[in-house]
Each structure stands twice: as structure tokens, then as C-alpha cells.
A and B are shown apart, each in its own frame.
Chain A
Amino acid sequence: MSGSLLLRRLVQAVPTLFGVSVVVFVLVRVVPGNPIAMMLPPGASLEDMERLRQAYGLDGSIVEQYVIWLGQALQGSFGTSISLRQDVLELVLGRLPATLELAVLATIMAVTVGVLAATVGILFRGRWPETLIDAINGFTLAVPDFIWALALILVFGVLLPVLPISGRVDPRLGTEFATGFYLIEALVSVRFTVVGDLLAHMIMPAIALALPLAAIITRVLKNSLAEAMAQDYVMIARVKGFSRWRIIWVEALRNASIPALTLTGVQFTFLVGGTVLVEKIFSYPGIGNMAIDAVINRDLPLIQGLILSFAVIFIVVNLLVDLSYGLLNPRLRT
């Protein structure tokens, strides 16, 4: 992808972000409900309430409020959370690493499982391993991540209690972290007990998020692998005497991976959306968990900040997917 195309995609993202911010802004304000009243102690005067409304920028019309909010947002200030009374940007950035680590781990798992299942399915075409993979795949696609998460808790947290069912790290380890990226930090500083504990906490939520994605990757990759295997260059490789396994992995996979990659990009946004609920179920301290609490507490500034960060993640991922086409398909590299 050339520089100008990249620039165009970045410019295209602006109206989408603007639209998202307007929709969220209007949505959280059109419906009656008074978050200020919930903050004040009983017996507070109307003047107190008015002062607080001003402090949080909730006086004035919706348009006025939006212009003020947008002006501040463009300077990097997203206001103060009403329920937690902290800077929204700080809160979101504090939680974001946890969600990113979980989402990336889940994606790595989904891609690994998906690629393995698709290649094994193609290798054993028409025989029982393929039938088995297809059957498991159909079932996995039908079951939502909500049910997977609960089933994992039930089986590996309660019936065979081998994994922790809530949190991100065992506080008894007493580990201090300098950044929010606990897993990366623990890996870099070679603290393997901490890595093990972090992974034990992340594995179940990550599997719940990864399973539906793995199933979709398997299906799409298997179809495009089947097409690739019918091409001339595969025939030539066969005539040369290369093994089927080698042909699949070295020759066909590279060409077949483009549709699967597009889809992974699209589905990654679903996966990030899925973190909202999965984090809640596993009490995992990421932005998804925070978002549910923010919505229930009607914390307007925090909701806006969180939804915008989700929108930014989606846009960045789509951009990355577009960029990686060039790496896989030389014909797009102009």
C-alpha cells in the first residue's frame, strides 16, 4: 500500500469517528435521567447541583455541550468520570492494556487453531478428520462467546477447579508493574511465575473469545485452500515430487491467506466487542468491564471516552489489515 493510499484511509476515518462521537453524544443525552443528582449527598441545595452541572459541562444546549466537548477532546481532554471522579483519558489508558493483551492473545490462539484445523482438514480431504473438523466447526460457530465463557468457568473453574475464574493476576504474588502491559512486562523481565499466573487468568477468557473466531477462520481458509490446491502451480509442485503437507504450507497457504486475513480483520472488531461481556463474566479489569459499569452508573464522560476508544481500535485494526495485504500479495504492492 502506497503512502497516499494510507493517507486517504486515515482521512476516511475522520468522518466515521466524528459520526460515532455525535451518535454517542446525542444518545446518552436525549433520554431523561440525572447523573448529577446521583452524585450529591441527600440534602444538597439546587445551587450545589447547578455548580456541579457547570463543573461537568452539563449546562447549556446539546450543541453547545458537544462543541465544548469536541474542542476539549481535540486537545486530548475527555473530561472527568462522574462515578470514579478521575480523568477519563487516564482511566481508559489505565485499563486499555489489559484488554489489548487479552484481545491479542485470543487472536493469536484463534489464528493458530484456525490455520491448523484448515490445513489438517485439507490434508485429509474426504476422510474422517475432515468430517470431524467440519462438525466441530459448525457447533463452535453456533455457540456464542457468552455461553463458551460460562461453560469454561463451570468446567475448569468449578467442576475441575484448575484455573482461577476472576481477575488478572493473583494479588498474593505481590508483583509491582511499571506499565499496564503486565504480560509483556513479565515476559521481558523473565518473571516466569508471574507469566504463568497471568496466563492462567487469561486463558479462559481468551479461549471464549477465540473459539468463534477460530471457527470462522477455519471455514474461510479451508475454502480458499481448496481453491488454491486446484491451481496449476500446485500441480507443478506435485509433479516435482513435493509432499502434500509441504505444498499446503509453503505454496498454497500464502495465496489462500488473503481472504482469511480480511475476515480476521473484520472479526477482530467483533472480538473486541466480545471483550465487553467476557471481561464482565471473568471480572477481568479491562475497558469492557469498565464500560458495563460506566453504562449502569450513567457515567456520561466515561461512556463517551470508552466508546470512542473502541472506535479507534476498530479503525486502527482495519488499517493494519489493509497494510498487510501488500505484504502477502505482491501484485498489490505498487
Chain B
Amino acid sequence: MTGARLNWRIVVGGGALLVLALIAIAAPLLAPVDPLEQDLFLELLPPWWQADADPTRALGADSLGRDVLSRLIHAARPALIVAVVAGVLTMLLGTALGLLAGYMGGMIDVVISRMVDIWTSFPPVLLAIMLVALIGTGLHSVIIAIVLIDWTRFCRVVRSETLAQTEMEYIDAAVIGGLKRGAILFREVLPNVLPLVIVLLTLEMSIAIIVEAILSFVGLSVSSDSPTWGGMIAEGRQVIHQAWWVMAFPMGLILIAVLALNLLGDGLKTALDPVLRR
């Protein structure tokens, strides 16, 4: 990526993500107590700034007396795993199909484009819930569901960008130069589509975090024991009138993660602008 320059969006967005990633990796070292440890004496304990708080439970405790801070820290793991794995797999599948449809044209294009139409006529949230309900709960299913649903996002963009690229003169030059179709696709078209794909990836990762949160909110992600942000929100929703903070903290973290990814995406878009702008 020649000419790409750092800007404040990349620094702030990327920095926040780096911190989140470090928290996820070092979760067992950072969490003050075991996130699964229940202590019914601490049930719905308020966070530190309120009157009857407990100094060992800085962000309070949930309805089973589990430490909110430790659960938040451990829940960063499933969120980031899903963001990275689902994001990258979605990118690979969608980009491959988009390149194929845009470059090959003909029947292949018709079939893939028709599939995209049918796919996008489902409400995505419902489709995700349906898929996970069918293939069973767990992190794997969440990732599979995201990939199977969201490949259309990459496919659409990459297809139209590939179509635009194949119209350009350098492709004609490559054809005259005797390059094979496969070589043109991977050596000429792909590098020009890549900046767009990278920007889409940051968007996809933020969507993956939200989808994981939604699925664990509905109770269809990892088992209810191990903490997830969405699961904590669902638990907090139950006790919202007694202890609003149980729901507020995981919401805040999801918000930070999503905003950081958006910021990074915007920053990359600007940094890669000479390539994107035409």
C-alpha cells in the first residue's frame, strides 16, 4: 500500500482495538477474580462510586453475585475471536465469489448475483438466529452463521469493482501482453480491489461483534456460563430496575469496540484514498 499515511483516525481507532486485544489476550492475568465465581452475598452489588460498594468488586456484581469487571474482561475474548475469524472468513468467501462473478461474467455471474438477491431478501438478524438455532449454539456456529450471511456484502462490492476494473485499459494491455486469465485476475485485478476489501473488513468486524452480542443476547452463542457481552446485557435486562449497571458496562464496551473499528475503517479509507478515488 504505497502512499498510505497514518492519520489520527487510524491511531485512535487502531489504538483502542490494540488495547482491547491485549485485554482479551491477558484476560486471566487482568481479571481480579474468577468470572464464574458466585457469591450470593454480593448479589447486585453497586459499582465503586456508590455508597455500599465493595472495593474488591470495582464495577459491582450481577444477579448471581459474579464480578462484573472480571466478566467484562473475559468476555472480550469471544467478541474479538468472532470479529477476527468471522471477519476474515467472510472476506475470503465474499471476495472470491465477487471476483468470480465480476470477472467471469455469463452464467456464473447470473447464478451468483441471483443468490445475492435471494440472500439479501432475508432479514439478516432472523437468518442468523435461524442458522444458529439449526446448527447448534457455540462460537463455531456464530462464526459460520456470520460467514454464511454476510458474504454478500463483500461479493456485491467486489463484483461491481471488478467489473469496473476489467473495463480499464491496463487489463487490455495485460491481455495483449499474453497474460492468462487467472494471472490477470490475481496479479492485476485483485491488488486494485484490495484497498476496498480492507475497508470493508473493518466494517465486517464491527458487524461480527454486534451479531455475536445479539446472538448471545438471545441466548444462542456460547454456553450461558462463560461470559459474553451480549449475555451480560441479557442478564442485565432482567434486573434493569434494580441494577442498571450490569447492562450498561457491556453496552459501553461494545460501543467502544464498534466505534474504534468504524474510526479505523474511515482512517484507512482516507489513507488509501489515491487508490480508491477515481
Contact = CB atoms under 8 A, between A and B. Distances in A.
A20 B118 contact: yes
A292 B237 CA distance: 17
Interface stretch (B27-35, B56-64, B66-74, B130-138): B130-138
B184 interface: no
B185 to A, nearest CB: 28
A314 B124 CA distance: 13
Contacts of A298: 133
Contacts of B122: 20, 273, 307, 310-311
A295 B219 CA distance: 12
Interface in A168-183: none
Contact of A154 (B120, B125, B219, B240): B240
Given A16-B117, A158-B240, A292 B262 contact: no
B218 A20 contact: no
B129 A292 contact: yes
A190 interface: no
Contacts of B124: 273
A183 B123 CA distance: 25
Interface in B231-278: 233, 237, 240-241, 244, 247-248, 251, 254-255, 258-259, 262
A147 interface: yes
Contact of B210 (A33, A144, A315): A144
Contacts of B130: 27-28, 295, 303, 307
A298 B124 CA distance: 18
A143 interface: yes
Contact of A33 (B123, B134, B206, B258): B134
B249 to A, nearest CB: 11
A57 interface: no
A296 interface: yes
Contact of A151 (B125, B217, B251, B262): B251
Query: Looking at chain A's contact residues, is the secondary structure mostly helix, strand, loop, or mixed?
Result: helix
A276 B213 contact: no
Nearest to A32: B134
A257 to B, nearest CB: 24
Interface string A139-179: 10111101100110110011100000100000000000000
B153 to A, nearest CB: 12
Interface in A292-330: 292, 295-296, 298, 303, 306-307, 310-311, 314-315
B2 interface: no
A154 B244 contact: yes
B121 interface: yes
A274 interface: yes
A296 B218 contact: yes
Contact of B258 (A19, A27, A142, A314): A142
Interface in A265-304: 269, 272-277, 280-281, 288, 291-292, 295-296, 298, 303
A154 B247 CA distance: 8
Interface in A1-37: 15-16, 19-20, 23, 27-28, 31, 33
A295 B254 contact: no
A295 B262 contact: no
How many interface residues does chain A have, given as a range? 35 or more
A246 B124 CA distance: 41
A286 to B, nearest CB: 12
Given A142-B259, A151-B251, A276-B126, A311 B134 contact: no
B214 interface: yes
B187 interface: no
A3 to B, nearest CB: 24
Contacts of A315: 121
B114 interface: yes
Interface string B180-220: 00000000000000000000000000100010011001111
A273 B125 contact: yes
Nearest to A296: B133
A20 to B, nearest CB: 6
Contacts of B220: 296
A141 B244 CA distance: 25
27 contacts: A16-B118, A19-B117, A27-B131, A142-B259, A144-B258, A146-B210, A146-B213, A147-B255, A150-B247, A150-B251, A151-B251, A154-B244, A154-B248, A158-B244, A159-B244, A269-B123, A274-B123, A275-B123, A277-B125, A277-B214, A281-B237, A288-B126, A291-B126, A296-B129, A296-B220, A310-B121, A310-B122
Question: Closest 3 CB pairs between A and B?
Answer: A273-B123, A142-B262, A19-B118
Given A147-B254, A147-B255, 9 more contacts: A142-B259, A147-B210, A153-B237, A154-B247, A154-B251, A157-B240, A165-B240, A273-B122, A296-B218
